[in-house]
Chains A and B, each alone.
Chain A
Amino acid sequence: MLRFILRRLLQMVLAFFGTTLIVYALMFAGQGDPIQALAGERPVTAAQRAYLTEKYHLDATGVGGFFYRYVNYLGGLLRGDLGQSLTGRQIGDILAAAWPVTVKLALIAMAVTVLFGVTAGVIAAIRRSGVFDHATLVLTLLVLGIPTIVLAPLAQYFLGVRWPIFPPTAGAQPSFRALLLPGIVLGSLSLATALRLTRTSVTENLRADYVRTARSKGLMRRRIVGVHVLRNSLIPVVTFLGVELGNLMSGAIITEGVFNIPGVGFNLFRGIRTEDGPLVVGIVSVLVVVYLLANLVVDVLYAVLDPRIRYE
């Protein structure tokens, strides 16, 4: 097991550099005129253009220019310096401010998904074809059918403005309550998927031989469902949740925008909009690490859930 984790960690280093190279290349290739993009529609003076060009080596173009800038970036990265954004802020500072709030938001969304999704999925499976099962089916289809870009403003309007249960926006240092609504909105999509996955998986396992054996042994139903079935049913759910954790952190662009949360998603959006290469590469590189770690945790959890799975 330990060797397995070590090997994966080593692979992660390679994957990390690979992605920075790819993302850096993409940003480099797609770059138009970042100086004008920063200024919007205002004219840029020659002095300002010369200043920024020199500061960010924007005149290094072509393949040679790319490697010059990439090696420069990597050199800084190895010294722990993520570089400066085009407005002169340290990207390290931007990320340090953005990550905590995004992580909080993702954890709330995750908690919502696990608490409601998995529990409701189990209940729906046990009472298959009952009222609860049908009701959740309709509800999940509804939630899956509404994109976040609609759901988030609707939730904000009805639960924040019309009936002020929650504050309409969260801001940079939000309270738990302010983050709850965006968390629920963010988690609702994965909640629906987790619910359907759990339901299918539990239904299947309820028909398995070992359940019949356990029942004929006279085991209590609660123990059968709670321990034997649930544990065996969770493998697909855990796989899904592991990938979802990464999605929740990077995919919160819309939710973070609607609820005014200056997290990772928003900064990524801003970086892409203003062609801020170093900012985008910095954020994506950290996101890649999050994805890789989440997948590692999932793999380890497999072995915990199913003793037949072993890693050498």
Chain B
Amino acid sequence: MRVRRLAAWAALPLAVTLGLTACGSGSGGGGASDPDAAVRIEIAEPQHLVPTNTNETSGSQVLSALFSPLVDYDEANKPHEVAAESVTSSDNRVWTIKLKPGYTFHNGEQVTADNYLDAWNYGAYAPNGQNSSYFFEKIAGYDDLQGEKPKAETLSGLTKVDDLTFTVTLTEPYVDFKAMLGYTAFYPLPKAAFSAPGVLAEGYEQAPVGQGPFRMKGDWQHDAKVEVERYDAFPGQQPKVGGVEFRIYQQPTAAYADVLADNLDVIKTIPTENLSTAATDLGDRFQQSPASSLQVLAFPTFQEEFSKPEVRKAISMAIDRDEITKSIFKDSQQPARSFVSPVVAGYRENTIGAAGAFDPVKARSMYEAAGGPKTIELSYNGDGGHKDWIDATCNQLKANLGVECVGNAEPKFADLLTKLKQKQSVGLFRMGWVMDYPSMENYLGPLYSSTGSSNYYGYANPEFDKLLAEGARAASEDEAITKYQAAEDLLAEDLPVIPLRYGQNNFGHSTKVTNVHVDLFDRVDLLKIELA
């Protein structure tokens, strides 16, 4: 009897707890029929929300709501004017940018040419330490803004013509300059963003004022959310939703669970572990679209054993790309056999030719004839979910080339880069590339030119550098593409990296929204998304 009463005491808290959980229900999301309701989109915590300092997808997704770009890209990824009336040049060196009238910042300021000049000068000035400053390096006078004590404070290549017109003078003609202008770094900043000329006001980043279709609703709530609402005075195309709540997630799996429960509207990247069930979980709400990323295995060409192109080609031929993309990536990525992504103009299929065809017999004889190393090491960063495909690749190399192969996980990509910069032996290493703007040059220049910012493999080919420079100086886009393609052919001969896979956006949405599009930059198109 007494014991039973004790049991009752134990049961009481349980009952209370269950009762409480029952009470708290009934707090659903926004009403489906309300056109002013907000949609909820997953992002990670942005690093910064200043246009010239934002170069990761979460920050640029938020800024794409707050700002309207000078140009945007059409279905064929050609640039067309948005906030600009026209972007013209007769010699590809001096560009005249005319702005559309009627644009205002969210604080009421008229958008003028000065706003662009102020923002770009701020971004290019080295002591400001802006992440995207390298976007301005083609503009004349950039070098004078570098170093600890720069000689100048403004770019000499930027000149205001009138309130809605300015010219940009480049150090050298560059045919793809118009395509570059679609990037986040080229947004304007209002006068209110500066506390003094060239000094960004404290706290601007917490509630950025832009000239785009949405304006901030409250401040950036770190690690929680960024809320924006429709800006009715926006003269361009109006969005179909009343606002957006960018919800900050640390783990994509948590966001995926929320989409399943209709607790979140869009997840931009479905985590790999959920890809196999996504089609059944979400049905036609699981979607795919092309992305710009390219995954490669790179050779440290400065090392003796990988210096022969035959060795590199043999390794490439011993890898069955199709099998790995199918069994490991569940077709969430596509096999790659070229050095540029299919999303840019000038892309050709299978430029690496025979080296891209899976042929274990030929690979082995070629490898042995060229005297390839007996042991191959594949290095990767352990924090990016690369282990599975690296191990699969290793197994294929073991079986097809008869070599020893080990995967070597470095904790972070930074650790891998540190070793590479010190020219330590890491064997082959993985790399990924995401474009900044749709141009072949953006795939070839930074990665393979001898001074490229991400050329970690010591590849240097004067002929390649020459073709690339000629392409940039070309008179027309078509002429440029011819040069770039000739440069790509040189890469195919030398094969400094093995192209493996093109990325895709694998995204999903809740039952509450429709017309969800994710662009090449991994951003949800906020002008198209609608409430269901």
Chain A residues within CB distance 8 Å of chain B: 32-34, 36-43, 45-48, 50-52, 55, 87-89, 93-94, 97-98, 115-116, 119-120, 122-123, 126-127, 153, 156-157, 160-161, 164-169, 171-173, 175-177, 180, 220-222, 225-226, 256-260, 262, 266-267, 270, 273, 275
Q: Is the CB of B224 within 8 A of A172?
A: yes
Residues from chain A with Cβ under 8 Å of B287 in the complex: none
Q: Could you tell me the distance between the alpha carbons of A180 and B2 in the complex, rounded to whole angstroms?
A: 31
What residues on B are CB-neighbors of A221 within 8 Å? Answer: 2-3
**A50 and B225 within 8 A (CB):** no
Residue of B nearest to A184 (CB): B17
Chosen A-B contacts, 15 in total, with CB atoms closer than 8 Å, are A32-B412, A37-B414, A39-B131, A40-B413, A42-B55, A45-B131, A45-B453, A47-B129, A161-B260, A165-B21, A177-B20, A177-B24, A260-B249, A260-B251, A270-B250
Q: Which residues of A contact B432 (CB under 8 A)?
A: 41
Chain B count of residues within 8 A CB distance of the other chain: 60
B126 touches A257 (CB 8 A): no
Smallest Cβ distance from B74 to chain A, in angstroms?
26
- A43 and B414 contact, CB distance less than 8 A: no
Contact B254 A45 (CB under 8 A): no
* Contact across chains for B48 and A172 when beta carbons are under 8 A apart: no
Query: How distant is the Cα of A200 from the Cα of B257 in the complex, in angstroms?
Result: 40
Q: Is the CB of A36 within 8 A of B417?
A: yes
**How far apart sit A122 and B381, CA to CA, in the bound complex (Å)?**
50
Given contacts A45-B453, A169-B258, A259-B254, contact A32 B47 (CB under 8 A): no
**How close is A158's CB to chain B, nearest CB, in angstroms?**
11
Nearest chain B CB to A122 CB, angstrom units? 7
CB atoms of A220 and B129 under 8 A apart = no
Q: How distant is the Cα of A98 from the Cα of B224 in the complex, in angstroms?
A: 11
CB pair B412–A273 under 8 Å, yes or no, is yes
Q: Measured between C-beta atoms, what is the minimum distance from B246 to chain A in Å?
A: 13
Contact indicator B454/A43 (Cβ below 8 Å): yes
B14 cross-chain contacts in A, Cβ below 8 A: 115-116
With A177-B20, A177-B24 given, can you name 6 additional A-B contacts, CB distance below 8 Å? A43-B453, A47-B129, A48-B130, A119-B6, A172-B224, A260-B250
Which B residues are CB-close (under 8 A) to A165?
Answer: 21
Decide if B129 touches A52 in the complex (CB within 8 Å).
Answer: yes
The distance in angstroms between the C-alpha atoms of A266 and B247, with both chains bound, is 16
CB within 8 Å of A: which B91-136 residues: 126-131, 133-134
* 4 closest cross-chain pairs (CB), A and B: A51-B129, A172-B224, A262-B223, A177-B24
| Inter-chain contact B129/A153, CB cutoff 8 Å | no
Using a CB–CB cutoff of 8 Å, the interface residues on chain B facing chain A are 2-3, 5-7, 9-10, 13-14, 17, 20-21, 24-25, 27, 47-48, 55-56, 126-131, 133-134, 146, 148, 221-225, 247-251, 253-255, 257-258, 260-261, 263, 381, 383, 412-415, 417-418, 431-432, 446, 453-454
Q: What's the minimum C-beta distance from B20 to chain A, rounded to whole angstroms?
A: 7
| Chain A residue with Cβ nearest B16 | A115
Q: How many A-B residue pairs have CB under 8 A?
A: 160
Known contacts A168-B263, A222-B6; decide if A33 and B417 are in contact (CB<8 Å).
Answer: yes
Q: How far is the CA of A153 from the CA of B134 in the complex (A)?
A: 42
Q: Decide if A51 touches B250 in the complex (CB within 8 Å).
A: no
CB pair B13–A122 under 8 Å, yes or no, is no
State whether A50 touches B148 (Cβ < 8 A): yes
Q: Contact between B254 and A97 (Cβ–Cβ < 8 Å)?
A: no
List the B residue with the shortest CB-CB distance to A222: B2
Asked if residues B48 and A87 are in contact (CB atoms below 8 Å), the reply is: yes
Q: Is the CB of B261 within 8 A of A161?
A: yes
On whether the beta carbons of B3 and A127 are closer than 8 Å, the reply is yes
* Chain B contacts for A89, CB-based, 8 A: 222
Q: Which one of B24, B131, B254, B413 lies within 8 Å of A257 (CB-CB)?
A: B254
B133 touching A47, Cβ below 8 Å: yes
Let me know if A260 and B10 touch, CB within 8 A.
no
**Smallest CB gap from A89: residue in B:** B222
Contact of B414 among A32, A87, A173 (CB under 8 A): A32
Out of B2, B3, B248, B261, which one reaches A168, CB within 8 Å? Answer: B261
Chain B residues within 8 Å of A153, by CB: 253
Q: Is the CB of A171 within 8 A of B129?
A: no
Contact present for A36 and B413 (CB under 8 Å): yes
Contact A260 B254 (CB under 8 A): yes
Q: For A175, what are the chain B residues with a Cβ–Cβ distance below 8 Å?
A: 24, 27
Minimal Cβ-Cβ distance residue in A for B5: A222
Q: Which residue of A lies closest to B413 (CB)?
A: A41
Residues of A within 8 A of B24 (CB): 175-177
Contact between A47 and B414, CB atoms less than 8 A apart = no
Kindly provide the distance from the CB of B18 to the nearest chain A CB, expressed in whole angstroms.
Answer: 10
